[in-house]
Amino acid sequence: MKKIIETLKNIWRIEDLRTRLLITLLFVAIYRFGSFVVLPGIDPGQLTKLQEQTSTGLMSLLNMFSGGAFSNASIFALGIMPYISASIVMQLLAIAVPYFQKMQREGESGRRKINQYTRYLTIAILVFQAPMYMINLKSTAGMAINPGLQWSWFLISSTLILAAGSMFILWLGERITDKGVGNGISIIIMIGIIARLPQALGQEFVTALTAEAGGLIKFLFEIIALLIVIAVSIVLVQATRKIPVQYAKRVEGNRQFGGARQYIPVKLFAANVMPIIFAQALMFIPLTLGNYGKESGSWVVNNLLDQNSFLYNVVMVILVIAFTYFYTAITLNPVQMSEDLKRNNGFIPGIKPGKNTADFLDNIMSRITLPGSLFIALIAILPAFARFFGVNQEFAQFFGGTSLLILVGVVLDTLQQIESYLLVRHYDGLLSSGRIRSRQG
């Protein structure tokens, strides 16, 4: 306890860090406040049917990502997921379309252009999703809409408000990245997830109390299992393999090999949580096309809307594994790494520079990516196993899936940022021994 108090005092003494933390808390508070601001013309007391609809199935997960704003018919109801979907499309275009490939190689200016196109695409997605949300609201909770409003004008105005709300969330995330502690979009998603945790935990505890026998013991085992999953996730998220690299020095025109050996750290989760976020964003597509969870005549669509179905979980596993390899190939290019080593007179002992080094790095990353992708896929479908053992729908989301990895990854990144400020100012870090490693290492 004394160590924690002293660390908090050190954080408060650093003016820059204190300012960034306060700005982050302010923007997070604005985001949470906005999630309770109901759309104009909506009666909050008549949203019972919508809240029942978002309590089960894939709708509950979408509601969790929005921090409950979806079930509140809030101005932030669509959340940040349209931007994530737009980012997926732009990443794919950067690989398949030469124009975007060239733009990606232009450095900072190219990155700004891609970000601008991503925002335009986000608006296009919002213009499609917002009317779908309003149509679903009218059909499930029609009494919530003021009957004196003309539907066409109400639809247009609500679409504009919902689109503006999502873009405002994006702006908040960018401001947290620039003025706060960083990782703004991830922090926005994490806050939405954490906001649902107290309610989910409370519901599970009440269920345990009302159970006939052994309810509290079952609840205790659930908490222990959750802590074990979190601990294993933290260890594996930080797991790395170090590839030794030797550097050559030029001495009087000759290359002299020797000196201190360095290492290339290749992480087990080089793609971080992006594959599972991308896969989940794609799984939301049938939800939107199916008018937000309404029963359709298609067996495939109905099963893709059910998180407990075999088809949903198989597709989720395939998408996570595919996106893990895809995103790893984008972030870690073996050919580029080999050229950088050669340019800096570096080499891997026992491996010839050039193509042999690129092939060696590619083999190493393929072997590391396979177990990493399998573990992420297992985490993605853990909520289905939790529900199989009788855990409530909402609480089961915290046993795995996107929510768990986002919570672990974002918390580690944020703590690592804070620790860096402390160490630069010659204060002790957050841990008494060792250092916190973020997802990026």
pLDDT on residue 75 = 92
Helices 355-388 and 310-331, axial angle in degrees (round to 10): 150
Mean pLDDT of the chain: 79
Domain segments of the chain as ranges: 35-180, 197-441
Per-residue pLDDT band for 437 (boundaries 50, 70, 90) equals low
Per-residue pLDDT band for 291 (boundaries 50, 70, 90) equals low
User: CB under 8 Å to 405, separation ≥6 — which residues?
Assistant: 233, 237, 273, 276, 376, 379
pLDDT on residue 316 = 87
pLDDT on residue 253 = 46
Per-residue pLDDT band for 66 (boundaries 50, 70, 90) equals confident
- CB-CB contact of 166 with 79 (8 Å): yes
pTM of the complete model beyond 0.85: no
- DSSP output for 230-256: HHHHHHHHT-EEEEEEEEEEEETTEEE
- CB-CB contact of 413 with 186 (8 Å): yes
């933290």: which residue's tokens? Answer: 234
Q: Which residues pair with 38 in a beta bridge?
A: 74
Mean pLDDT of 176-192: 86
pLDDT on residue 252 = 45
- CB-CB contact of 66 with 78 (8 Å): yes
Least reliable range by pLDDT among 1-10, 163-172, 332-341? 1-10
Q: Which of 104, 79, 278, 91 is CA-nearest to residue 173?
A: 79
Per-residue pLDDT band for 29 (boundaries 50, 70, 90) equals very high
| Tens digit of each residue's pLDDT (9 = 90 or more) over 114-133 | 889 999 999 999 998 898 88
Mean pLDDT of 254-276: 64
Q: Residue 84: CA atoms inside 13 Å, Cβ hemisphere, count?
A: 25
What percent of the chain lies above the pLDDT cut of 70? Answer: 84
Q: Which two tokens stand for residue 307?
A: 């998180």
Per-residue pLDDT band for 27 (boundaries 50, 70, 90) equals very high
Least reliable range by pLDDT among 138-152, 206-220, 306-320? 138-152
Q: Per the CATH hierarchy, to which homologous superfamily does domain 197-441 belong? A: SecY subunit domain (1.10.3370.10)
Q: Identify which of 54-58, 63-67, 110-114, 246-250 has the greatest average pLDDT.
A: 110-114
Long-range contacts of 161-165 (CB under 8 A, 24+ apart): 161/39, 161/40, 161/75, 162/39, 162/75, 162/77, 162/78, 162/126, 162/129, 162/130, 162/133, 162/134, 163/78, 163/123, 163/126, 163/127, 163/130, 164/75, 165/34, 165/74, 165/75, 165/76, 165/77, 165/78
Q: How far is CA 157 from CA 40, 69, 127, 153, 168, in A?
A: 9, 18, 11, 6, 16
* Torsion angles phi and psi, residue 147, rounded to 5: -65, -15
- CB-CB contact of 190 with 33 (8 Å): no
Gap between the Cα atoms of 74 and 376, Å rounded: 32
| Tens digit of each residue's pLDDT (9 = 90 or more) over 293-306 | 555 557 777 777 77
3-state helix, strand, coil in the chain (%, to 5): 70, 5, 25
- Who has greater pLDDT, 102 or 300? 102
Gap between the Cα atoms of 63 and 79, Å rounded: 9
Per-residue pLDDT band for 441 (boundaries 50, 70, 90) equals very low
- Buried b vs exposed e over 107-120: b needs ≥16 C-beta within 10 Å? eeebeeebeebbee
Q: Which residues pair with 84 in a beta bridge?
A: none
User: CB under 8 Å to 24, separation ≥6 — which residues?
Assistant: 176, 180, 181, 187
Residue 54 scores a pLDDT above 50: yes
- Who has greater pLDDT, 221 or 62? 221
